[in-house]
């Protein structure tokens, strides 16, 4: 059996992965008026609930195996703010070849007897890379009527409701917010450095709107009258727009440094 044929046989065999790790914990508010989330790795899905504590559930895989032991969750109180942090330490974890198939499934190999170029030639392979594969999703249920600041470095953020004074940021991931029942004059700032920002909100809200992208474009299906700010003499990319949604009483700031901004009308 030649090397190429051996690779194809290996990819055709089923890959048995460990079941996802289910982490579950809660953090009482103890009358905190603000919440700050600071996560290094993983996607955040943030939802609202009516309790008096933050509920956290996580599914964590590293190289297809239970990766919960590499993550450290911590909480502390700073004045009226409850701060939750999640850090990861992958020291000692072996780097492996991750093969992503066209159907989205993943296969993990030690990579000793094959190269990325050889595996990439197979028609069933979508992507191949060598290193660590971290697949972590944190679902957080946050009480209503509280200030919310959330940030992640290597992950995306999905927001499914509105909290007071929202500041949401991802460095390398996208930020998607679907807010169907906001107050009449919401206050929020949503940003990403290297990926897109996507906000869906009713067109009936009242807010001063500022949208800025350094290297992307801005798209919207809302009926707004934009004011295009000056880009400067030497700037030939990006967009900087001010506008009003109705009376403009609230404040919405959207910023995507290297990608696009999408402002959508909630139905």
pLDDT mean across residues, the chain? 86
Choose the weakest-confidence range: 19-23, 182-186, 214-218, 223-227: 19-23
What pLDDT is stored for residue 67 in this prediction? Answer: 87
Residues facing 131 on adjacent strands: 96
115-146 in b/e burial notation, b at 16+ Cβ within 10 A? eeeebeebeebeebeeebbbbbbbbbbbbeeb
Length of the chain as a residue count: 267
3-state helix, strand, coil in the chain (%, to 5): 5, 55, 40
Q: What is the pTM of this model?
A: 0.84
pLDDT digits (tens, 9 = 90+) for 2-37: 333 333 334 443 443 444 446 889 999 999 999 999
Q: Of 54-68, 84-98, 121-135, where does mean pLDDT reach its minimum?
A: 121-135
pLDDT in tens, 118-156: 677 677 888 887 788 888 999 999 998 899 999 999 999
């Amino acid at each position: 059996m030649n090397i190429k044929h051996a690779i194809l046989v290996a990819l055709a065999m089923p890959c048995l992965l460990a079941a996802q790790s289910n982490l579950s914990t809660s953090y009482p508010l103890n009358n905190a008026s603000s919440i700050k989330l600071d996560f290094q790795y993983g996607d955040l899905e943030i939802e609202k609930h009516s309790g008096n504590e933050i509920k956290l559930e996580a599914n964590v895989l590293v190289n297809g195996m239970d990766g919960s032991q590499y993550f450290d969750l911590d909480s502390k109180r700073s004045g009226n703010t409850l701060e939750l942090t999640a850090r990861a330490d992958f020291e000692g974890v072996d780097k492996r070849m991750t093969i992503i198939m066209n159907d989205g499934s993943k296969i993990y190999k030690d990579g000793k007897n094959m190269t990325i170029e050889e595996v990439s030639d197979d028609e069933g392979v979508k992507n191949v890379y060598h290193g660590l594969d971290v697949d972590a999703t944190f679902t957080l249920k946050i009480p209503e009527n509280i200030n919310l600041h959330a940030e992640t470095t290597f992950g995306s953020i999905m927001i499914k409701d509105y909290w007071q004074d929202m500041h949401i940021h991802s460095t390398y991931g996208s930020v998607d917010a679907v807010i169907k029942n906001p107050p009449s004059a919401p206050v929020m700032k949503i940003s990403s450095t290297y990926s897109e920002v996507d906000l869906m909100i009713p067109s009936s809200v009242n807010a001063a709107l500022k949208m800025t992208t350094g290297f992307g474009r801005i798209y919207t299906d809302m009926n707004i009258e934009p004011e295009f700010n000056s880009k400067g003499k030497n700037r030939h990319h990006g967009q900087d727009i001010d506008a009003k949604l109705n009376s403009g009483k609230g404040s919405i700031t959207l910023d995507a440094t290297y990608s696009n901004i999408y402002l959508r009308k909630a139905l």
